[in-house]
Amino acid sequence: LYHWDLPLALHYRGGWLNRDIASWFADYATIVGRAIGDRVKWWLTLNEPSVFIVCGYHGGHHAPGLKLSVTEALRCAHHTLLAHGRATQALRAGCPRPVKIGMAPAGYAKIPDTEIPANIEAARRSLFAVSGKSLWDVALWMDPVFLGKYPDEAAAAFGTTWHHPSAEDLQTIHQPLDFIGFNCYSGVRVRAGGDSSNTGSTRATSLGGGGAAVPSAPEDLPYPQDHPTGQLSWLMLAPEALYWKARFYNERYGHGKLPLIVTENGLCSSDWVALDGEIHDPARIDYLHRYLRGFKRAAMEGIPVGGYFLWSLMDNFEWAEGYRPRFGLVHVDFATQKRTLKQSAFWYRSVIESNGANL
């Protein structure tokens, strides 16, 4: 329903800073559900809410370019989750047939550096930790939706900037969903550290009271400078990302009862038409092959894998990045609008035809 395209008229009325946006969004969901709900069964309420709030309302480098305080950004985040809950209610009430509803949160996967119990637990803790320094922490977005409450440590981590949501709001946000969706492109390797001074950026150090150290605190490990990346610097190759996100989300939120659906995954690479008229993109094929192997591993281990959506079918306009990053399986000549299937499109067709047997 929402991929960051806020009507300008609503922006002038405060946008996500205005609590009324939850009602506006519910009205919108009702209209859309009545219009196409007879043909559309699967729905996502919001795409990457942390991105459009952090980058658009706090960091200021995405539209609408605001640099609000943490307190105001937290308010925007809460209104976003409230809108999700209201829209979920509206879709279930307004669609003419039963529907499947979820959300598409963003964020890095946290990957144990080696698969020993201490590192696995460190990666799990790092993924769901609340630092009190930013709104990127995934638990701030997913805990209210799936658990009906914000993380227990959020109030202490954010201190005086924290808001205190009402029980009624949390009940509205905590609507039953039909699947756990997640966008995932990259990940951070994590190992168990010696104390809380080596957290690497994600673990609050005051949770034990008085700034006490947390034993074996997670340590996020930096990638070497020559680590493979896509056209965008944040897209670092992390083939195990889909496996560990699916595993940790299933453990915390799904408990084997909700299917895990990758709602976005893909690679942007510098693709061009070769002399033979083809678009050879071996990096994308290799990236997708590695990531899908990880997701297949999750399925083989009994995690309820429900689906996978590749970003993207065609090269497109990438929000604040423009036309330069090319994510598509289909090459687009933006001057002529000519479409040409890349080699990755033929490879991905074989994956679909074999249902992943060739991975």
Q: Give me the active site residues, please.
A: 48, 264
Q: Which two tokens stand for residue 340?
A: 């040409």
Burial 13-50 (b: 16+ CB within 10 A, else e): eebbbbeebbebbbebbbebbeeebeeeeebbbbbbbb
CA dist 245 and 222 (Å) reads 19
CA distance 346 to 359: 14
User: How far is the C-alpha of 8 from the C-alpha of 6, rounded, in Å?
Assistant: 6
C-alpha to C-alpha distance for 350 and 178, rounded to whole angstroms: 29
Q: Find all residues with CB under 8 Å of 20, minimum gap 6, and list them.
A: 13, 14
Measured distance CA(49)–CA(140) in Å, rounded:
11
Give the burial string for 138-166 (b: 16+ CB within 10 Å, else e): bbbbbbbbbeeebbebbbebbeeebeebe
* Contact predicate 235/178, CB 8 Å: no
Q: Closest Cα partner for 136 from 106, 98, 92, 94?
A: 106
Tokens of 91: 């879709």
